[in-house]
Amino acid sequence: MIGPWGRSQVGALLACWTAGLAGIAVGWWGTSGRSTPGDQAAWVGLAAAGVVAFGAGVGLWVMAGRRVLGLRQARLFAAAVAPVGAAGTTKTSQVVSGGPAGLPVSSGMMRYYHRANCLLVRGKALIPAGVDHHRRDGRRPCGVCRP
Amino acid sequence: MGWLKWAKAQWDRVGAVVALGGSLLALYLGWLGVSDSVYPAQALPYVVSGGFVALVLIGVSGILWLSADLRDEWRKMDRLEDAWRASSSPGASAAAGNERLEMVGPR
């Protein structure tokens, strides 16, 4: 299945939906066979519980999808901007300096050089330099922003 | 023909719109039944079958549309990850394809 859901999420969704639809069907059957609203109240409550179960399935499905997608996004971005040597690395939040004439940017610890506005280097302290300079230092162009 | 191709590719969004239409139809049929009923006890089954089924179909519509959005983001992450792998180790991207970073949650 394409998407952030696994078998457990599909199973939970099907279970909630089956319970919900069964509750509504039985509730409808119960209300149809009664002649006074007092007798029907419990069956209507059962059908309402079915709607709640169905809605819970929907909510769990969407929340699970968003959570797994967010985790994957965080891992990918962390891996993409990981420095060569982790020792001595500082996590700064300085604004990226664009550099003159749109020069690609990087830092001493990075394996890739990027465009200044690349999402993968947002918020990092970087130094603009020419492509030759980056290549001489053994860096390669970012595959996402393709500087 | 182009429209059919688009509908096939966007089956989840088409399904969401169809489910939304179905919910409006269920609501209308339920309202017809209730309006023709003389006693409250006669109307309640229509409330359950029309109103509650309409709510369920709205839920189906919502989940289909949101799932389509999440799948789009998932495919975008696939492309980003492929690009990252290709640039970090050319030639090894195909072999590494089985170890995507997507395996982060309970599957």
pLDDT single digits (tens) A24-36? 999 999 999 888 8
pLDDT at A98 > cutoff 70: no
What residues in A contact B48, CB-CB < 8 Å? 24, 27-28, 31, 43-44, 47
Secondary structure (H, E, C), chain A = CCCCCCHHHHHHHHHHHHHHHHHHHHHHHHHHCCCCHHHHHHHHHHHHHHHHHHHHHHHHHHHHHHHHHHHHHHHHHHHHCCCCCCCCCCCCCCCCCCCHHHCCEECCCCCEEECCCCHHHCCCCCEECCHHHHHHCCCEECCCCCC
Tell me whether B79 touches chain A (CB under 8 Å).
Answer: no
B86: its two tokens: 């290709």
pLDDT at A90 > cutoff 50: no
Q: Is residue B2 part of a domain?
A: no
CB contact under 8 A, A21 and B56: yes
Instruction: Give the distance from residue A18's alpha carbon to the nearest chain B alpha carbon, in angstroms.
Output: 12
Of A104, A109, A71, A74, nearest to A88 (Cα)?
Answer: A109
Q: Is residue A2 part of a domain?
A: no
Out of A52, A81, A110, a domain closes at: A81
For the ranges A1-5, A47-51, A83-87, A99-103, the lowest mean pLDDT is seen at: A83-87
Q: Is residue B22 part of a domain?
A: yes
* Mutation for testing the A interface, residue in B11, B63, B82, B100 having most A CBs under 10 Å: B63
Q: Is residue A24 part of a domain?
A: yes
Instruction: Give the distance from residue B27's alpha carbon to the nearest chain A alpha carbon, in angstroms.
Output: 15
Out of A27, A60, A81, a domain closes at: A81
Of A115, A2, A87, nearest to B70 (Cα)?
Answer: A2
**What distance in Å separates the CA atoms of residue A46 and residue A30, rounded to the nearest whole number?**
9
CB contact under 8 A, B105 and A73: no
Alpha helix stretches (DSSP H) within chain B? 2-9, 11-35, 40-46, 53-88
Please tell me the pTM assigned to this model.
0.65
Q: Is residue B43 part of a domain?
A: yes
Max CA pair span of chain B: 75
Tell me whether A103 touches chain B (CB under 8 Å).
Answer: no
Residue A71: partners with Cβ closer than 8 Å, 6 or more residues away: B104, B105
Residue with tokens 């610890």: A109
Mean pLDDT score, A4-26: 92
Q: Is residue B107 part of a domain?
A: no
Domains held by chain A: number: 2
Query: Within a 10 A sphere around the Cβ of A1, how many other Cβ atoms?
Result: 9
Tell me whether B84 touches chain A (CB under 8 Å).
Answer: yes
Question: What ipTM did this prediction achieve?
Answer: 0.76
CB contact under 8 A, B102 and A72: yes
What is the residue range of B12's domain? 7-102
More confident residue, B16 or B89: B16
* Mutation for testing the B interface, residue in A52, A66, A68, A106 having most B CBs under 10 Å: A68
Domains held by chain B: number: 1
What residues in A contact B101, CB-CB < 8 Å? 72, 75-76, 79
What is the residue range of A29's domain? 7-81
What pLDDT shows up at residue A55?
A: 94
How open is the CA angle A14-B60-A47, to the nearest 5 degrees?
A: 70
Residue type, B19: A
Asked if A17 and A68 sit in the same domain, the reply is: yes
Long-range contacts of B66-73, Cβ-Cβ distance < 8 Å, separation of 24 or more: B66/A62, B66/A65, B67/A3, B67/A61, B67/A62, B67/A65, B67/B12, B68/B10, B68/B12, B68/B13, B68/B16, B70/A3, B70/A4, B70/A62, B70/A65, B70/A66, B70/A69, B71/A2, B71/A3, B71/B12, B73/A69
Over the stretch A103-130, which tens digit does the pLDDT of each residue have? 888 887 788 888 887 877 777 778 888 8
